[in-house]
Amino acid sequence: MTLMLLDSASLWYRAYFGMPDTLVSPTGLPVNAIRGYLDMTSRLLVKYKPNRLVACLEGDWRPSWRVELFPDYKLNRLDDEGDEAEPDTLTPQIPILLDVLDALGIPLVGVDDYEADDLMATFSVKQPGPVRIVTGDRDLFQLADDKRDVKIVYLAKGISNHDLVDLKWIADKYQIPGDRYALFAMIRGDSSDGLPGIRGIGEKGAMIIANNFTSLPEVMKAAAGGDERLTPNIRKKLLESSEYASIAPKLVSCALDVAIPEMDIALPTKPKSLDKIEKIREEFGLGASIDRIISALNWN
């Protein structure tokens, strides 16, 4: 039976920007991210029918070990106070949403100095499949694994039109072997995370390299040795970025060995606190969204 992993921050951002800001509590507090997250989760539970579920959280959205490797990591997302910039009306919704999930009995986990991506990666290699990773972040395509039946429920087009990403999907989309997405991403870079990639080599160049090599160390060795599978121009650009190339595999790859605490990840068969659910439902006007997720959890 299926394990579903929720990339929670990705979901509540998509909910926040995808749901109207006219959704407010009886006292006028915006609840669009809360309702959107619950509604999306409900629909995914109905569609994929997992028997295990974890809402994964950021223990640290800029882990110290990644920042030590590359000080500019996600630097573009810092606000004036050194925290992650996020909309003022989203921030107050997050603790309420986490209270709802906790009251429902949905397992929540975040581990200090690791991103949610690292937790999902560790779950995906340590838990039996099938595994479905729910995210709007293409970074997690590197976790697709046909042998273990790990697929990415990719929400870039929304819940109704989401893609189910496996190795064939990656191959069709990027014209590379599906299991080389991490290498492709290391070379291409990712401006949203402040990652430059190999400067001067864009997506097309990254595609050519990923079709000829399996790892970045192999690519750099080939560049240094004058390998003719690489054009002189690409070899030059690779060697100019050799310092970044030396850290990119650890920086870009998800950690697979996070010490996740022992926990019951079975889909809850009853609420952890029905009284708390009812209180939050009333206080924040979450009636229909609460009803939908309770129905999706199939409590009788």
pLDDT averaged per 10 residues in sequence order, the chain, 300 residues: 96 93 94 96 96 97 94 84 81 96 97 98 96 96 97 90 96 97 95 90 94 96 92 94 95 96 94 94 95 90
b/e code 191-215 from CB counts within 10 Å (16+ = b) = eebbbebbeebeeebbbbbbeebee
What's the CATH number where 13 sits? 3.40.50.1010
- Say what the pLDDT of residue 79 is: 75
Residue type, 176: I
- Say what the pLDDT of residue 192 is: 84
The verdict on residue 173 lying in a domain is no
Helix 32-48 with 93-104: angle, nearest 10 deg: 40
Task: Round to whole Å and give the CA distance between 20 and 42.
Answer: 18
Given a contact cutoff of 8 angstroms between Cβ atoms, the answer to whether 79 and 131 are in contact is no
Total domains present in the chain: 2
Other C-beta atoms lying within 10 Å of the C-beta of residue 104? 24
- Say what the pLDDT of residue 199 is: 93
Whether residue 238 is found in the same domain as residue 264: no
CA angle 233, 234, 240 (to 5 degrees): 90
- Say what the pLDDT of residue 83 is: 72
- Say what the pLDDT of residue 300 is: 64
Whether residue 87 is found in the same domain as residue 225: no
Alpha carbon of 295 to those of 38, 39, 73, 194, 299: distances in Å?
12, 11, 41, 41, 7
Helix or strand holding residue 289 (H, E): helix 287-296
